[in-house]
Structure 1
């Protein structure tokens, strides 16, 4: 296992280096750069353009240098913890991260917890009680969750809460706590607001996990090892939970690899509709304005989260499935 982990870590570092090259090239592909976009916006609004300021910005951030020089300066800065400066938001990228990453993690991880806590028991029930009334009900709700886009569900939920209950569910804080320091009152205010985005984000994921778990568990329930265990007189509930459920959980555990990067990438429109102070709208804004330092840092961070999530997923799969664990040992 130690050799396996060391090999994976080396592979992750090489993959991260290759990803940094791809990210930088993709950001440089659109014609022009932030400075040209900035000049176009000023010209469109009728404002005067100070050429000295433009020349200073180009020189400071080496925008006229060869692309390899720009890439090396960008990579070297990130290795030293300097992620650059966001031209659009006029703030250091590190400061934007520090202000929003905590909220993004809290919302997305809460959504993941809700997804798993709801999907696992429903998926097991639907498989064990196949074609029962509860199974049909879970199937209908699951198809509804998969079919309705998150942003549309958010709009409907906003309308219902406002018209029927007179409650506004946008944002994660009340106005008086928006820029306040963390305290018990601010935490309680956050809890009162966070349920709406968690519900919206978790709906589609829960429906998908229920369908996956139900299908895999149905496939396992009729296999010989389950029938043999039941024939030996073992209690049905213990047999199901100890053997087929563990095997059927494999596809769910493997999804952790893409769950972590959704801290940034998921629900762009939902975050905008609900006015959430997370990283999703920031990434969209950075890509549209060609804010290279902010966009590059966010995309690269998503890649890091994907690799970390994949590693965690592999380790969890080895823990719950001895066959995978034996394969890892054989690979050493």
Structure 2
């Protein structure tokens, strides 16, 4: 884990610092635009340009010191690691707030959609995959396979635009966007719940549509392999009901490949989709990451990189633990 963490952070830190258009360049551009509105003759302009270049040198040095760019790249990275030991990611150049506060402020949207989509995906796809496996080759299996492949072929961008234009705009069945209504704070507890649910329906469809096909197909194929096993045939030969054979003997082993994806449980804390958040006007982690990259907000980028890498690595460990719980034959000793 430690080499992986250092590899991710070093590469990210180097790339964002070598990219053009950093905060100093953006600040200087804003200063030039702010002072470029005055008029004057050609002689005055010439003198002004010489004065600007002299001032700019002083301004550049001051900005470098302010943003910490007066030190070499490797020294800045070591300073970042030192501050990281105190969980201090610095201050956002854009929001002028601590990076931790900026990221935490985006959690409600991403966490809500991440947890809900993860729960609903597994809740629907596991039973669907089991039923498809038990009826493999039949009409039900073919129809559901066709439907899943159809939904998988629809890009979330196109689906989001369709839902906004038709379902929300033309039919007025859902809000056009946002995470809650304007009068959310004045609503009762139940009304708040229904209001959030009303706003979540369309974005959730876009979040989940791609994962349905992958997880359902994986569950179906895994269950088919297990059903063909000798111990399943033996259980049937003993006269056990088909329901008991499937859910007591076959399901647990069929869940082993599915357990890999459960590591994504940790990823829901930083879940975010730039396209979906842009379409539905959701202020989440995905949009924050995109805006930070475009504005070269290095501290926010590194904060998101650190959290994402730690979450993904913890997810891998969690997947290994789930493997052991599902299949006692697996031992990492």
1:1-332 alignment, distance < 5 Å: 12-31=1-20, 33-40=22-29, 43=32, 51=56, 54-161=60-167, 162-165=169-172, 167-177=174-184, 184=189, 186-258=192-264, 260-261=266-267, 263-264=269-270, 266-324=272-330, 327-328=331-332, 331=333
Return 294-303 or 162-171, whichever deviates more: 162-171
1:103 to 1:41, Cα distance in 2 relative to 1, 3 A: same
Once the two structures are superposed, residues 78-107 of structure 1 have per-residue CA deviations (whole angstroms, 9 ceiling, x without a partner) of 221221122123332111112111321111
Structure 2: distance between partners of 1:79 and 1:260: 22
Number of aligned positions between the proteins? 314
Q: CA deviation at 1:320?
A: 0.8
Return 184-193 or 197-206, whichever deviates more: 184-193
Structure 2: distance between partners of 1:272 and 1:32: 23
Structure 2: distance between partners of 1:266 and 1:202: 12
1:108–1:198 contact (8 Å) kept in structure 2: no
Structure 2: distance between partners of 1:307 and 1:198: 26
* Bigger radius of gyration: 2
Q: CA deviation at 1:294?
A: 0.5
1:46 to 1:115, Cα distance in 2 relative to 1, 3 A: farther
Structure 1: distance between partners of 2:286 and 2:90: 19
SS in structure 2 at match of 1:165: coil
Once the two structures are superposed, residues 160-202 of structure 1 have per-residue CA deviations (whole angstroms, 9 ceiling, x without a partner) of 222013642311111234xx59973544432321222222201
TM-score (norm 2): 0.85
Structure 2: distance between partners of 1:46 and 1:133: 72
Structure 1: distance between partners of 2:85 and 2:187: 30
Once the two structures are superposed, residues 229-283 of structure 1 have per-residue CA deviations (whole angstroms, 9 ceiling, x without a partner) of 1111122111111232222212221013345336546421111111111110110
1:148 to 1:69, Cα distance in 2 relative to 1, 3 A: same
SS in structure 2 at match of 1:175: coil
Structure 1: distance between partners of 2:34 and 2:275: 27
TM-score (norm 1): 0.85
2:161–2:279 contact (8 Å) kept in structure 1: yes
- Cα RMSD, aligned residues only: 2.5
**Structure 2 stretches lacking a partner, 5+ long:** 38-51
1:183 to 1:264, Cα distance in 2 relative to 1, 3 A: farther
